[in-house]
Amino acid sequence: MSSKGKFKFDRITDARGGAAFTVRVVTRAAATEIVGTQEDGTLKIRLVASPAGDPAANDELVNFLARQLGVPVERIEIVAGADGREKIISVEGISPEDVEAKLGGKTAD
């Protein structure tokens, strides 16, 4: 996985009225950022907060994704994995193609 350039994560699926995708969070980072994808297509995101299952870390993740995707926080839900590093995220009112376009080209500096 490279932290430069465009990357593709292929675990985005159509969900009722939106999209769902898998995220792996890494905590205790210097900055909150998308760093790429894992081999299985899971989006990897660094968070400042810790630990991964802490409500503060989950809030940080949801707020970060809302900003990146340009959707209200209320449209994003952690539907599985709220207590761990691997999470399934559901975003209402956005297509998988829009998620790919908005997050697929984001990388760490």
Q: What is the DSSP letter of 42?
A: -
Q: What's the whole-number average pLDDT of the chain?
A: 83
Q: How far apart are CA 4 and CA 13, in angstroms?
A: 25
Question: Mind giving me the DSSP string for 9-34?
Answer: ----EEETTEEEEEEEEE-S-SS-EE
Kindly report, residue by residue over 46-77, the tens digit of the pLDDT: 999 888 888 999 999 999 999 999 999 999 99
| SS3 (DSSP) at 38 | coil
- Which of 24, 23, 27 has the alpha carbon at shortest distance from 50? 27
Fold type of domain 18-103: Conserved Hypothetical Protein Mth637; Chain: A; (3.30.1200)
pLDDT exceeds cutoff 70 at 6 = no
